[in-house]
Chain A
Amino acid sequence: MVVQSLFERLGSPKKNPLKLAFLTIASAVIALPLAAAEHPAAVSTKDDLVSRGQYLSVAADCAACHTDPAGGQPFAGGYAIQSPMGKIFSTNITPSKQFGIGNYSRDEFAKAVREGVRADGGHLYPAMPYASYSMLTDADIDALYAYFMKAVKPVEKASPETKLPFPFNVRASMIGWNALFLGKDRFTADKAKDDQWNRGKYLVEGLAHCAECHTPRNALMAPNQSAAFAGGQVGSWYAPNITSDKLSGIGGWTDEELFSYLKTGKAGDKSRAAGPMAEAVEHSFQHLSDDDIKAMVAYLRTVPAIRDAGQTEANFVHGTAGTDVLKLRGVRKLTHEITDMSDGAQLYIAACASCHQPDGLGTKDKFYPALVNNTTTGQPNPTDLIAAILFGVKREVGGRETLMPGFGADSLVQRLSDEQVAAIANHVLQQFGNKQAKVTPADVATVRAGGPTPLIAWLANPFVLGVIGLVGLGVIVAAFRFIRRRKQAR
């Protein structure tokens, strides 16, 4: 347009050869930057690789672990992942040559991401979801490598060393684990399915590593593939069943609800993202393109349905509005503390109703969600309800924060005992949620302590290990004696 108006002002170029020359140069000078501005992607293919790598690193949510949320520098590590085996510190993956991955070649980088092996040959713990990342294509590894090497600022700082107790400190044990559970195949598109489904599968199974939490783990802490996406314990939280089952999974959700849940952490009245899922939404999913989210939804729709044993109603059809406040208002004298309160309905009115409302239907704008028809109160497993009460809910989406205060030991509003949390949870389940679900104070204590201990971590307890050792020794001695006696008898 600018060029055209110049032409008009200067008159027809045919009349003046000098003018023509000037205009040719002028239009070239003006048009070049214009074209560049209109197609920024076309400027340089190298930067394209880097920006694609950045997008992939968000989809893979590398920062979730490798950036310490407590003020750590991007990708400098040092975040303690609370595994059942002990604290695993995330590593510095900035291109620092001394402390990070600055000396990694592209292939060494690929080996770490997809096979869980460091450049020095040491094995990573599967807290790094390399079993999921093993699916990543070579092209995406190239992009990620370009991003980390060129666009991430090196941080010259060592991250703390991970020191797990015996036997988990033997990193070579992961060789056996990898042989059993690590897929060697990179992603290949299923020609029978459309592009959207294939992209969704790549994201769900690979980059976004959904199965790391949503698929239950077996005795060796590897995903139990026969129960893929049927729900698993993640520390204090429970990653729910996200198979296509209409009652236990997400089969009864609309596409819009699933899209909204991944993009904003809110799914109508059905659910709100909390705990590790809130982190995934906050750090990863909200930044993904709409097409990628839709692709994930399309793939999740086809995950084989698995129903929780004995379930007859969907997780989001439970509960009725409460009227307890009409019976309980004024029954008890007001005090500053509610430490002596033990009745669930009264505790609900004292500690929960100011936001979720006395009837449990939340506020009109749904900022404070209804507890009725809510999957957190309606799913058979009440772990997430307990965890939400103890640790609260926190997520920031689109620059706006959603916050529910926790009522655990660090609470700034009200500390509740295990008995009180159990009483509230049971009242909420009875009135607003799944009547079959029950919570004991011991359940609350377990969630408070970071979730149940898996068998393998329990077996590795020095005392248990000692007892097993003694029993084993006893068996060997007995067998030896038995053999000797038989020899003597002959």
Chain B
Amino acid sequence: MQGATSPSDVHDEGGAPPGLSRRRLLLNSGISLVGLLASSVALKSAFAADEGASMLPVAKDVLARFMAFSRLATGHDSIADELGGRLYQALVEQDKKFADNLTALTALVQAKGFRDVESLEAALKDNAPLHGALMSVIRAWYSGVVAEGTNATVYAFEAALMYQPARDAVVIPTYAYNGPDYWVAEPPAVDAMPRF
């Protein structure tokens, strides 16, 4: 669309407009070119950092706090730091107050010594903001999604906690469970919950 200049346009711009010398024009375009290049490089490196994602974007102590709280909130110990960092970032981006709420929640857990999420949840009945933050953490780990709607980013799919209780028997969509005709075999007993 930018290239949709008609020949007459080009012709019109052929001569430098009054007040804009050739030197000035060159200088300006040079500066804008450098600017463009710099911004594209910056964009690229930002994208590369996101793609590579070898370095966690969240500070170590913040991540440790989020993970400790997540273990209490979900009741599971085997949740991964790699995913936690990304979920934390998404939660902060979604709700500017999330970081503060998390600090308040961890302080509360420390002060009252809650051993499980049920007792914590009961204590938050009248505190809508903190209750909401707790729920958003649980939801993120279980569904692997943070935002609402059909365009939401999926951060975890096969690693989402909601799939784990039936993981020993039910195929996770798009991932092979076993070889062909695996469903013919006797499924594992229902009372044996897989460890996750």
A contact residues vs B (CB 8 Å cutoff): 323, 325-332, 343, 346, 353-355, 357-358, 363-365, 367-368
Contact = CB atoms under 8 A, between A and B. Distances in A.
Nearest to B153: A330
Contact of B82 (A327, A364, A368): A327
B156 A354 contact: no
Contact of B178 (A327, A353, A358, A363): A363
Contacts of A346: 51
Q: Which of A323, A330, A332 gathers most chain B CB within 10 Å?
A: A330
B86 interface: yes
Contacts of B114: none
B contact face: mostly helix, strand, loop, or mixed: loop
A266 B81 CA distance: 36
Interface of B: 50-51, 53-54, 80, 82-83, 86, 144, 153-159, 174-180, 182
B158 A358 contact: yes
B82 A323 contact: yes
Nearest to B79: A326
Contacts of A368: 176, 179
A330 B159 CA distance: 13
Nearest to B160: A329
30 contacts: A323-B82, A325-B158, A325-B159, A326-B80, A326-B82, A326-B83, A327-B53, A327-B54, A327-B86, A328-B51, A328-B53, A329-B154, A329-B155, A329-B156, A329-B157, A329-B159, A332-B51, A343-B51, A354-B176, A355-B176, A357-B176, A358-B158, A358-B159, A358-B175, A363-B176, A363-B178, A364-B178, A367-B182, A368-B176, A368-B179
Contacts of B153: 330
Given A326-B82, A326-B83, A331 B179 contact: no
Nearest to A355: B176
Contacts of B175: 353-354, 357-358
A452 B175 CA distance: 36
A363 B156 contact: no
Given A325-B158, A364-B178, A367-B179, 9 more contacts: A323-B80, A323-B82, A326-B80, A327-B82, A331-B50, A355-B176, A363-B176, A363-B178, A363-B179
A81 B179 CA distance: 32
A364 B177 CA distance: 8
Contacts of B50: 331
Contacts of A363: 176-179
Contacts of A329: 144, 154-157, 159
B176 A326 contact: no
Contacts of A355: 176
B179 A330 contact: no
Nearest to A368: B176
Contacts of B144: 329
Contacts of A365: 178-179, 182
A326 B144 CA distance: 10
Contacts of B159: 325-326, 329, 358
Contacts of A332: 51
A368 B180 CA distance: 10
A358 B80 CA distance: 14
Contacts of B82: 323, 326-327
Contacts of A353: 175
B75 to A, nearest CB: 20
A330 B154 contact: yes
A283 to B, nearest CB: 22
B171 to A, nearest CB: 10
A323 B78 CA distance: 13
B79 to A, nearest CB: 10
- Residue among A329, A332, A343, A364 facing the most chain B CB atoms (10 A cut-off): A329
